[in-house]
């Protein structure tokens, strides 16, 4: 468990499996209506509670098990919040398509309105994790959640500004209005900065890994480097013609027949 390559493989599997499990549950609930979505979110509350407990308990553990507990706890908390978002339970006040030819400031406000409650919940959770763990030294639960949080903010801003590839295949009917707030573009001004920042973060975790003082730090920084590298990979998926949806498509039931409105074409804001 202290081998950094094992930790990286654990992070890779956890990323793939947790994403697939959430998408499968969302697809299942989507077939059965809003009532099933609420039931799914409620039934998964024990996972959220387990994640909170694990994040707090991590600070009292020693050895290589501590970073794995923290990492897994952050994924449980993050996963429940994402489930609540994808099922349409916690999203935002705006559930309408974005009209054509609206000013950019209005388009931004409308886009923010589609995800406002969810993003505020994520920010509040990050702050709560910091408050719960700040007095106990290094918390891998906090840093794992922080990586996921800032990578998500970056991804959403890039989708708003415009990227080459927007994958809407896994969006449920409750979020069918979201693609109208995205833009298709060859490039945007933020993407190079996002890639640079994530690459720098990976390098920082690797530098900390190289100077790790104990097995717990070896495992923990390897987990953080791996999950940050996966966030970097997900950003590249937005501009490269790679069929990343095949990683999970095979394990999901057939989607409902929903007529998706096209995302916005490239305009003057694409570089």
Q: Tens digit of pLDDT for each residue in 224-252?
A: 999 999 999 999 999 998 888 888 887 77
- Whole-number pLDDT of residue 270: 30
Residue 209 phi/psi, 5-degree rounding, is: -65, -45
For the cut 60, the answer to whether the pLDDT of residue 262 exceeds it is no
State the Cα–Cα distance between residues 180 and 98, nearest whole angstrom: 5
Summarize the confidence of residues 136-153 as an average pLDDT.
Answer: 94
- Whole-number pLDDT of residue 76: 98
User: Confidence class of residue 223 from pLDDT cuts 50, 70 and 90?
Assistant: very high
| DSSP state for residue 254 in the 8-state scheme | P
- What Cα–Cα distance (Å) separates residue 246 from each residue in 44, 193, 243, 250? 26, 28, 6, 7
Identify which of 185, 182, 186 has the alpha carbon closest to the alpha carbon of residue 263: 182
Summarize the confidence of residues 6-11 as an average pLDDT.
Answer: 97
Residue 119 phi/psi, 5-degree rounding, is: -65, -35
264, β-bridge pairs: 183
State both tokens at 49.
């509670």
Q: What mean pLDDT, rounded, does the chain reach?
A: 92
- Whole-number pLDDT of residue 256: 65
Side-chain-facing half-sphere of 17: CA atoms under 13 Å: 9
State the Cα–Cα distance between residues 35 and 259, nearest whole angstrom: 22
Phi-psi region of 270 (alpha: psi -120 to 50; beta: other; left: phi over 0): beta
Summarize the confidence of residues 85-98 as an average pLDDT.
Answer: 97
- Whole-number pLDDT of residue 263: 63
In sign, the C-alpha dihedral spanning 54, 60, 61, 63 is positive
- Whole-number pLDDT of residue 127: 98
State the Cα–Cα distance between residues 58 and 140, nearest whole angstrom: 8
Identify which of 131, 119, 141 has the alpha carbon closest to the alpha carbon of residue 52: 141
> What percent of the chain clears pLDDT 90, i.e. is strictly above it?
80
For the cut 80, the answer to whether the pLDDT of residue 200 exceeds it is yes
State the Cα–Cα distance between residues 66 and 126, nearest whole angstrom: 19
CB 111 within 8 A of CB 117: no
């Amino acid at each position: 468990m202290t081998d950094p390559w094992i930790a990286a493989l654990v992070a890779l599997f956890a990323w793939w499996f947790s994403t697939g499990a959430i998408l499968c549950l969302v697809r299942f609930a989507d077939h059965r209506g809003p009532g099933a979505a609420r039931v799914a979110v409620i039934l998964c509350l024990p996972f959220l509670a387990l994640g909170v407990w694990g994040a707090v308990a991590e600070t009292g553990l020693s050895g290589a098990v501590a970073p794995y507990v923290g990492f897994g706890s952050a994924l449980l908390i993050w996963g429940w919040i994402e489930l609540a978002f994808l099922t349409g339970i916690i999203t935002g006040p705006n559930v309408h398509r974005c009209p054509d030819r609206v000013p950019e400031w209005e388009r931004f406000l409308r886009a923010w309105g589609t995800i406002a409650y969810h993003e505020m919940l994520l920010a509040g959770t990050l702050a709560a994790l910091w408050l719960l763990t700040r007095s106990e030294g290094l918390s891998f639960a906090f840093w794992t959640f922080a990586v996921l949080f800032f990578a998500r903010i970056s991804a959403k801003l890039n989708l708003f500004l415009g990227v080459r590839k927007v994958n809407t295949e896994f969006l449920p009917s409750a979020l069918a209005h979201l693609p109208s707030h995205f833009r298709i573009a060859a490039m945007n001004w933020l993407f190079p900065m996002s890639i640079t920042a994530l690459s720098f973060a990976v390098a920082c975790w690797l530098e900390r890994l190289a100077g790790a003082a104990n097995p717990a730090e070896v495992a923990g920084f390897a987990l953080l480097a791996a999950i940050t590298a996966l966030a970097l990979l997900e950003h590249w998926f937005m501009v490269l013609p790679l069929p990343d949806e095949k990683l999970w498509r095979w394990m999901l039931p057939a989607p409902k027949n929903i007529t998706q409105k096209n995302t916005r074409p490239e305009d003057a804001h694409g570089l």
